[in-house]
Amino acid sequence: TPIDYPISLDFDAENGTFEPCPQVTPRHLSDLKEMFSDQSTVAQILRENDPLIYEIRYYPFTTTKSDMALAVTRIFPGTIGNEFYMTKGHKHQREDQPEVYYCVRGEGFLLLDTLEGEFRAIPWRAGVITHIPPMWAHRVVNTGNDLLVFIGVFHLSAGHDYDIVARKGFAYRVLSRNGKPELIKQD
Ligand code: M6P
Ligand code: ZN
């Protein structure tokens, strides 16, 4: 239901949580298993358990005339094989929809890819704000030993296209070599 009066949230930047929070979406390994490069390690882990990779907290600021939304994502530290924990990654279904991402805590990369030849890996740490233009797929990778927290601001009507990312993949992966992140080109 639309709400046409101001709403404020109480945000805990250390934890990456806010109150009130109407929706929490957990993403376990099984929810993004096809996104990781080392499929035999994925299968091996899934035989034993299904680790929580990240969590998204959504707040839809729907009014009668607008559909802005906020999402706070907490990516846990870790790797699958030698690939750092990351978001599934998506492109917006609507071609006129940008997004603003703000890294609140942690370190890693924001990967941006048109999936048509243009790619950027933005080194990310607390305090970096990035504008994601329309038509650029986006994925966040946690390369630190601690929680990575970021805020996304977008329109609900933008829509999430995960299939195109699963089909084409990002141009580079972020892999751990002796604990240090390396960008590795995909073929
Ligand atoms: C940001 C926003 C959300 C998105 C979330 C996790 O908070 O872009 O819309 O759901 O990141 O990313 P993904 O949907 O790719 O798992
Ligand atoms: Zn988005």
Could you tell me the residue ranges of all domains in the chain? 16-185
63 Rama sector, left if φ>0, alpha if ψ -120 to 50, beta otherwise: beta
**Type of residue found at 35:** M
Nearest bound ligand to CA 99? 2
Convert the pLDDT of each residue in 17-76 to its tens digit. Answer: 999 999 999 999 999 999 999 999 999 999 999 999 999 999 999 999 999 999 999 999
Cite the DSSP H helix spans in 20-119. 39-48
Separation of alpha carbons 169 and 119, rounded Å: 11
Under 8 Å between Cβ of 114 and 171: no
Q: Whose structure tokens read 């992966």?
A: 173
89 CA distance to ligand 1 middle (Å) = 7
Find out whether the beta carbon of 166 lies less than 6 Å from any atom of ligand 1. Answer: no
For residue 41, the surrounding DSSP H or E stretch is: helix 39-48
Give the ligand 1 atom nearest the CA of 25: 10
Convert the pLDDT of each residue in 149-186 to its tens digit. Answer: 999 999 999 999 999 999 999 999 999 999 899 999 99
Convert the pLDDT of each residue in 120-151 to its tens digit. Answer: 999 999 999 999 999 999 999 999 999 999 99
Residue 187 predicted with pLDDT over 90: no
Find out whether the beta carbon of 16 lies less than 6 Å from any atom of ligand 1. Answer: no
**Type of residue found at 181:** P
How many CB atoms lie under 10 A from the CB of residue 187?
3
Fold observed for domain 16-185 = Jelly Rolls (2.60.120)
Find out whether the beta carbon of 90 lies less than 6 Å from any atom of ligand 1. Answer: yes
ipTM greater than 0.95, yes or no?
yes
